[in-house]
Amino acid sequence: MLIDSHCHLDRLDLTAHDGSLDAALDAARDRGVGHFLCIGVSAENAGAVKALTERYADVDCSVGVHPLDLQAGEAPALDWLLGELAHPHVVAIGETGLDYHYEPEAAQLQQQSFRLHLEASRITGKPVIVHTREARADTLALLREVALPQAGVLHCFTEDWEMAKAALDLGYYISLSGIVTFRNAEALREVARQVPADRLLVETDSPYLAPIPYRGKPNLPQYVREVADYLAVLRGVSAETLAEQTTANFKRLFPLARVVSAATH
């Protein structure tokens, strides 16, 4: 069984499935995907992702505010975040983090928000999902500053091995997306070869970043199979071994997730 550890089910382009999310999830289940983690990015979509967890037993969610979704120049309120995290199917916090690629001028506000999410993780014990882009030094500095007792994950990882190793040393997991299949991603493939087997996750980040051979098209949860199969070849293991390992890793990192055996789907 595979798990799509990071997808935006409320944002999917469902054209290929006649507008049906049911059909899109069934297509993924037919390819061995047994669970989905639907990611919160704003206060506005928190209700939507929670509703999906109530509609589908194999969907859990996170709640948080993406660094590029900070509204009105202020970080979210800690009380709001803690209230959202009380929902039983909210198994993680985020995505949060730092993104200086598009909004370097908002670095201070992003750091304030990131700290707030990390504090919510410390209070609740729920793991944090970290987005980082062109902000590696500040990301690592904040992760070291807070030093959470429980792990989190650097999702859709695109940095170098030096940053990956630093995050691993702090107890974090590394999640890889379809970017690892892109022709210009050799540095990322080197990271993918070296991540310890017990710290690796796979994701689509759908509807974004579809893997080869679907690059440029809307990404879908079913394509986590392409990511996993590619990684298996890259790491010199069977597809079954990689699926079993990444599923075990997901269950360890997100112990509240309602992951059951594939036979029940």
**Helix H or strand E encompassing 12:** none
Domains and CATH numbers, the chain: 2-264 (3.20.20.140)
Q: Write out the DSSP string of 96-125.
A: EEEETTT-GGGHHHHHHHHHHHHHHHHHH-
DSSP annotation of 237 reads S
Q: Which pLDDT score is estimated for 71? A: 76
Q: Which pLDDT score is estimated for 73? A: 77
CA dist., res. 42 & res. 25, Å (int): 23
**Helix H or strand E encompassing 228:** helix 224-235
Cβ contacts of residue 251 below 8 Å, gap of 6+? 257, 259
117 token code pair: 């999410």
Q: Which pLDDT score is estimated for 149? A: 85
CA dist., res. 87 & res. 256, Å (int): 11
Strands (E), the chain: 2-7, 33-38, 59-63, 90-99, 128-133, 153-154, 173-176, 200-202
Q: Cα-atom radius of gyration of the chain, to the nearest Å? A: 17
DSSP annotation of 66 reads -
Torsion sign, CA atoms 65, 207, 102, 121: positive
User: Which strands make up the sheet holding 128-133, listed edge to edge?
Assistant: 2-7, 33-38, 59-63, 90-99, 128-133, 153-154, 173-176, 200-202
CA dist., res. 70 & res. 68, Å (int): 6
Per-run averaged pLDDT (10 residues), the chain, 265 residues: 98 97 98 98 96 98 96 87 98 97 93 97 97 96 92 96 97 98 97 98 98 97 98 98 98 97 46
CA dist., res. 130 & res. 144, Å (int): 13
Q: Which pLDDT score is estimated for 86? A: 97
Q: Which pLDDT score is estimated for 148? A: 92
Q: Which pLDDT score is estimated for 264? A: 36
Q: Which pLDDT score is estimated for 72? A: 72
- Identify whether the C-beta of residue 99 lies closer than 8 Å to the C-beta of residue 133: yes
**Helix H or strand E encompassing 141:** helix 136-146
